[in-house]
Amino acid sequence: MGRAPCCDKANVKRGPWSPEEDAKLKDYIEKQGTGGNWISLPHKAGLRRCGKSCRLRWLNYLRPNIRHGDFTEEEDNIIYSLYASIGSRWSVIAAHLHGRTDNDIKNYWNTKLKKKLIATMAPPPNHHLASATPSSPSHYNMINTLLPYNPSISTNQLLTPHQGMMMTMMGQQQQLLYQADMGTLVNSPNRNNFIMSHQEDSQEQSTNKGIMLLSDVRSGSSTTSTVTRVKMEHRDHHHHEELEDERSMSSAVIEDYGMEEIKQLISSSCTSSSNSLWFDENKTEDKFMLYY
């Protein structure tokens, strides 16, 4: 048998709140408080509403010092940064933004910020499949704001999928090794590259490796991103290329990963649960590394 419902759904009102209901709830809570029991509150307050509905209405709209709309750029950056580090934990993010509710931030992210982020990564109209220039000069400024180089990041530091996502978008001169399955990050400040790896399980690391190159070339105010698959070893071992020196990857042959695919990966990451990895954990095809 399932859990008993928190209220009699047949006898509670649903849908938008009327000004009268708002006034009743606000008045009751300001005078009596919640009493630590939302379930019984609507009855005491004379409302035909579910306790959960009352709680939501109070927390999101009626409690004092709530702010709606007009997110500032600073708030945007905070959201980006926190999302990159902790994922879709909206209540935690809301705690960092005075007067904002988790619901507001969630809606803002889903309807605007996510699109804005994707847009900043959009290639120019004439972009080549495997070579692109960021469409906005602010692209790297924004990303750099999110995750500035941190020399304290050291070998084996855990990295969330979202951090992996953000790191991938960074155009900074640094090297990071991210093993998606192990959550391991290796950061070598004396190198100029960024390596991102994904292996389904550590036992097969030695036989199932693929490497994808993602390199940036800065020239004056512009930056060119290049995505290159430099090494791919299929499960059936039909392909096998050895890589003698990581540095040689920069001259590898450009293959078939374009910015569109990268964007799709990021996009799917944004819509998946916070616990899922940036790359499909269950996929059975190629495994790869990103080299930045």
Can you tell me which of 53, 160, 179, 197 binds DNA, judged by CB under 7 A?
53
Interaction between residue 72 and DNA (CB under 7 A): no
Q: Which is nearer to DNA, 36 or 64 (CB)?
A: 36
C-beta separation of 173 from 192 below 8 A: yes
Can you tell me which of 23, 39, 119, 217 binds DNA, judged by CB under 7 A?
39
- Work out whether the CA dihedral 257, 88, 276, 167 comes out positive or negative: positive
Distance CA 37, CA 49 (A): 14
Q: Which is nearer to DNA, 50 or 130 (CB)?
A: 50
Pairing of strands 210-219, 195-197: unpaired
Interaction between residue 69 and DNA (CB under 7 A): yes
Interaction between residue 110 and DNA (CB under 7 A): yes
Can you tell me which of 23, 92, 119, 217 binds DNA, judged by CB under 7 A?
92
Q: How far is the CB of 231 from DNA (least distance, A)?
A: 33
Hey, what are 32's tokens?
Answer: 């009596």
Interaction between residue 103 and DNA (CB under 7 A): yes
Q: Which is nearer to DNA, 69 or 220 (CB)?
A: 69
Interaction between residue 161 and DNA (CB under 7 A): no
Cα angle 225, 195, 82; round to 5: 80
Pairing of strands 222-232, 195-197: unpaired
DSSP characters over 53-83: HHHHHIIIIISTT---S---HHHHHHHHHHH
Q: Which is nearer to DNA, 113 or 211 (CB)?
A: 113
Helices 73-86 and 138-146, axial angle in degrees (round to 10): 60
Return the SS3 of 41: helix
Order of strands, edge to edge, in the sheet holding 184-188? 131-132, 222-232, 210-219, 289-291, 195-197, 175-179, 184-188, 157-158
Q: Which is nearer to DNA, 82 or 290 (CB)?
A: 82
Q: How far is the CB of 17 from DNA (least distance, A)?
A: 4
Site for DNA in 111-140 (CB under 7 A): 111-112, 115
Can you tell me which of 43, 44, 67, 68 binds DNA, judged by CB under 7 A?
68
Chain residues binding DNA by CB under 7 A are 3-4, 6, 9, 13-17, 34, 36-40, 50-53, 55-57, 60-61, 68-69, 88-92, 102-104, 106-108, 110-112, 115, 271, 273-274
